[in-house]
Amino acid sequence: MNTSAVAQATASVHAFTQEARDAIYHAIFSRRDVRGQFLPTPVPDEVLSRILTAAHHAPSVGFMQPWNFLVVRSQGTKHRVHDAFAKAHAEAAGMFEGDKRAVYQKLKLEGIIESPIGICITCDRERTGPVVVGRTHMKTMDLYSSVCAVQNLWLAARAEGLGVGWVSIFHQADLQEALGIPKGITPIAYLCVGYVSHFYDKPELETAGWLPRLPMEDLVYFEQWGQRDDQQPLIAHLRRDQAAAQRGREAIA
C-alpha cells in the first residue's frame, strides 16, 4: 500500500461522517459578527447552557481553564456597558482620517442594547498559580486559551441559529467597572447574543468596502518566514477550497 493510501486509510478511521464534516464547515463559513439583526426573542436556558458548555470545552494551556462567563440580561447593565462603548467609539472615530472616518462613523459596531443576552468572557491569569505547564515561556497563552473559548461559543451559537457580535471598542477599565470585574481579571470579549432576522452572506466590513478578504496563497509560507512557493500542490488546493467557500456563502445568501 502506498504512502497516500495508508494516510487516507488511517484518517478515515477517525474522520467524522461527510454529513458531520459538512455541518462543521457550514458553521465556520456562515458564522458572522452580528451587529444590527437581533430579534427580541428570548434565548432558552437549555440553548444558552449548550453554547456555554461548548465554550468551557475549549483547549486551555496547562488545562488551567482560565475563563469565566458573565451573563448579562438586565437593561440597566446593558446600558452601563453601552455607555462604556459609546465613550470609546467616539474616541475611535477621531483616530481615522478622510474617507475611513466617514465610513467608520456609518458602521454599526455593536448590538449591546438590542441583543437579549450579553456574555463577557474573561481570563483569570492567576487561576492555577504562577507556573503553568505550557505557559512557562509564552505568558500570553492563557489569554489565547480564553479566545479559544470565544470561538467555541461562536460556532456552537451559529449551529443553534444564534447570532453573536463581539464588541471590542472599550477602555478595559470602563468595561470592568460596568460589570464589576476585579482589576486582576482580564476581559477578553463582550459578546452580544441572540436570534437574528438574517445572517449576511459576507462579513459586514467586507461588504462596506473596509477591507477585502486576503487570498490564502499570500498568507502561507514554507519552511521560513516570507518564503512562498506557488508550485507547491497545497497552493492549488487552497485556491480550490477558497473558491468552494465563496460559492458556499453565495448559496447561503
Is 190 part of any domain? yes
249 pLDDT band, cuts 50/70/90, is low
DSSP state at residue 174: H
Q: Has residue 117 got a pLDDT over 60?
A: yes
pLDDT of residue 166: 98
Residues 140 and 245 in one domain: no
Residue 60: count of CB within 10 angstroms of its CB: 24
Task: For residues 47-74, give the mean pLDDT.
Answer: 98
Considering only CA atoms, which of 193, 187, 165, 164 is closest in space to residue 174? 187
Is the same domain home to 115 and 165?
yes
**Do 129 and 186 fall into the same domain?**
yes
Is the alpha carbon torsion for 8, 12, 16, 18 positive or negative? positive
Q: What is the pLDDT of residues 225-243, one digit of tens each?
A: 999 999 999 999 999 999 9
Report yes or no on 143 lying in a domain. yes
144 and 226 co-located in one domain:
no
The span from the CA of 22 to the CA of 31, in Å, is: 14
Mean pLDDT across the stretch 128-141?
96
Same domain, 77 and 168: yes
Residue, of 1 and 54, whose pLDDT is higher: 54
Residue 103 lies in a domain: yes
Q: Do 203 and 231 share a domain, yes or no?
A: no
Q: Is residue 154 part of a domain?
A: yes
Q: What pLDDT, on the 0 to 100 scale, is given for residue 168? A: 97
Domain membership of residue 53 as a residue range: 31-212
Q: How many domains does the chain have?
A: 2
pLDDT band at residue 13 under the 50/70/90 scheme: confident
Q: Are both 147 and 114 inside the same structural domain?
A: yes
Cβ pair 50, 160 in contact under 8 A: yes
- DSSP 3-state assignment of 13? helix
The stretch 201-222 carries a mean pLDDT of: 92
242 and 194 within one domain: no
In sequence order, what E strands does 42-181 have? 67-72, 117-124, 162-167
Residue 128 belongs to a domain with what CATH number? Answer: 3.40.109.10
Alpha carbons 129 and 215: distance in angstroms, whole number: 42
- Residue 42 sits in the same domain as residue 112: yes
Q: What is the mean pLDDT of residues 195-199?
A: 97
Q: Which residues pair with 119 in a beta bridge?
A: 71, 191
pLDDT, the chain, mean: 94
